[in-house]
Every structure is written in structure tokens, then in C-alpha cells.
Amino acid sequence: MALIVCVCDYWNHRHFYNRPVPDRFQMLCGGEGNTTVKTEPVRRLVLELDAVRGNYVLRELLQQRVLKQWLLRELGVRLVWLRFQMPQRWSIDYKWAEMMAHTIWTHIELEHLMCWLSTLGGGYSALGDQFARYAQTAGEISLQQLAIGLRLGDPFLQARCKLYYSISLIQRGQLRSAKFLIRAQYRFACGLHKKRDKRLMRMCLGVWGRLCYEYEQRQKQRLSIENGKRFE
């Protein structure tokens, strides 16, 4: 048995929560003239509150299991009717505003830091083709970007940072690890979400092309070494 909550707003629009789905068989029988559907009386609790206090009461009714059981078992209430009225005085939640301001400012600073790391990582990655230590530094920068992506909670940003790290792996010759990492991000971009990230898919294909090129160069190098040994 669930507690039904109905909210009546300023325009007398009704919004139901935990409303049971009507039985199809009863709906079908109700359309016939000779058939009557028995309905049990429902005890209701009507509360007239301003919108600010009513919102707190609504959250308590939806989240507090003990309160719902107490209303159902002790008072026998099956329906709570919340009628919202225009508050006489609007109150500002300064604590919540301070928390939101801190969160927004943190996101701004993290995104600003991400831009700087992207510029710096791109420079080290460009030099990583000739120098292994620059490729190592570019990989460390990508891991720092991944930590920021985890803090921001953006899964697509995290996937892009992992792709940046796979480029560092390719430059350092760790092709097998890069291969599994690129495949995982491509599967994530294609199949794990309803909305596909085409940008991430193109990035995966581009890095995969770089990986295939490195495999071909490694294979040519092996063939040249084997041929050189044969002629010795």
C-alpha cells in the first residue's frame, strides 16, 4: 500500500505522486452499463501551506519512509492533499546560494585549468614523437586532466583524456595497451549511451589510424631486420 500525494498549485493544477496505475480489466468493465466497480473510501489529509514550506513537506513525504508508514498505519491516511498558496514573503536561502556559488566557481576554475593543461599537453605531445621524455610528460598531463574530468563528473571528458593518454602510450611504444584503451573508449562512445558523441568517435578513429601506422612501421622494421640477418 503506497501513500498518494497530490499537490494543487496556484492554478488549481493537480500533480500526483505515487499514484497507482488503474487496472485495465476494471477500466474495461467500467465502460459497460451493467457492471459497477466497487471503490473503497480513501481517507485524506488536507494541508494548506505556502509554496516554500509546502515544498519541504513534499520532500519529506516522498523520501521519509517512517513518516509514510506512520500516516498509513497510525492515522489511516491514504491520500495527502497539499494545497499550495502564494507565500506572503519570499525567503532567500543564503546557505544554498553560497554552496551553489562555490560549486560554480570551482567548475569555472577547473575548466580554466583544463584549458591550460590541454595547451601544455598538446605541446609536449608534439615533441613526444622525437623525444620519449616529452611523451612521458604528455601522459602525466593527460592523467591530471583525467583527474579533473572525474571531479567534474563528465564521462565524455574522461574518455577524451584517456584518448590523450593513449597517444602518449603509442609514442612510448606501448601499442598493445593503447589498443585496448582506444577500443574501450570507442565502445563507450557508440554503445553505452543513447546519445552518441560523434566528436569522440572521430577522435577514436583518428588515434586508431595513428596506432595502425605505428604497427605498420614496426612490422616493416622487423622485416628489414630479418632480411638483413639473412644476407649476413
* Residues 178-222: tens digit of each pLDDT: 999 999 999 888 875 556 678 888 889 999 999 999 999 888 888
Domain count, the chain: 2
In a domain, 91, yes or no: no
- On whether both 111 and 161 belong to a single domain, the answer is yes
User: Which residue, among 42, 58, 38, has the nearest Cα to 50 in the 3D structure?
Assistant: 58
Please state, in angstroms and rounded to a whole number, the distance separating the CA atoms of residues 139 and 129.
13
In a domain, 150, yes or no: yes
Task: Calculate mean pLDDT across residues 60-77.
Answer: 87
Question: What percent of the chain clears pLDDT 70, i.e. is strictly above it?
Answer: 86
Residues in the chain, overall count:
232
The CATH number given to whatever domain includes residue 188 is: 1.25.40
Is the pTM for the entire model greater than 0.85? no
pLDDT value at 19 more than 80:
no
pLDDT classification of 20: cutoffs 50, 70, 90: low
**Beta-ladder partners of 5:** 17, 80
pLDDT value at 10 more than 60:
yes
Model pLDDT, residue 189: 85
Write out the residue range of the structural domain in which residue 65 sits: 4-85
Average pLDDT, the chain: 83
